[in-house]
Amino acid sequence: MSEEEFEVRGPHDEALEDAGHGDAFSGRIAVMTAILATLGAMFGYEGGATQNEAALLKNDAAITKTEAADKWNYYQAKSNKQNLAEMAVTLPGVNQEKYKADIERYKKEKEDIKKEADGLEAKVIELNHQSDESMHLHHQWARATTAEQIAISLAAITLLTRKKWLQYAAYTVAATGIVLGVVAWIPH
């Protein structure tokens, strides 16, 4: 048995080896891929952050909605007490002044409770609106990330095939992703 080694090489191996010889074409594609990977990671981070923010805002809206429902239940309880006091005023032999004072107290308490409940409902609407805006922003970041990932894939295919039209397609998709990222980054 001989100790000679032999190697079976495929077209993919040769393309990878050719890509590593430092020609300008391969170098440009490699630098572009590294930049796109960095941008894609940044866009992906921002997309995840805005998605988390949207979920937290939606959660806060649900909690606030429960608080508003509690206030409306309390309002209803005060209404029931007011109704009982109004009925008690009409009964013979009761201290009408006490029940009239109770009626006025319940009316005042209900006004305060209603203001709180209305304020909480307005806060729910605002939190839901903020959540929707964050989710919209998340989608913008996701589109930018996806474009950069597609551009990286096109760059890899370009490197293997050495087709100029694929290189230009990768540049175009990368530029589109960058524009989408800039649009997502600009405050609205």
Q: Would 13 be classed as within a structural domain? A: no
Which pLDDT score, from 0 to 100, does residue 43 have? 96
- Per-residue pLDDT of 75-110, as tens digits, reads 999 999 999 999 999 999 999 999 999 999 999 999
Q: Would 64 be classed as within a structural domain? A: yes
Q: Would 114 be classed as within a structural domain? A: yes
Which pLDDT score, from 0 to 100, does residue 24 have? 87
- Per-residue pLDDT of 17-35, as tens digits, reads 655 555 888 888 999 999 9
Give the residue numbers spanning the domain of 176: 25-185
How many domains are there within the chain?
1
Q: Is the pLDDT of residue 9 over 90?
A: no
Over range 109-115, report the average pLDDT.
97
* HEC assignment per residue over the chain: CCCCCCCCCCHHHHHHHHHCCCCHHHHHHHHHHHHHHHHHHHHHHHHHHHHHHHHHHHHHHHHHHHHHHHHHHHHHHHHHHHHHHHHHHCCCCCCHHHHHHHHHHHHHHHHHHHHHHHHHHHHHHHHHHHHHHHHHHHHHHHHHHHHHHHHHHHHHHHHHHCCHHHHHHHHHHHHHHHHHHHHHHCCC
Q: Would 44 be classed as within a structural domain? A: yes
Entry pTM: 0.74
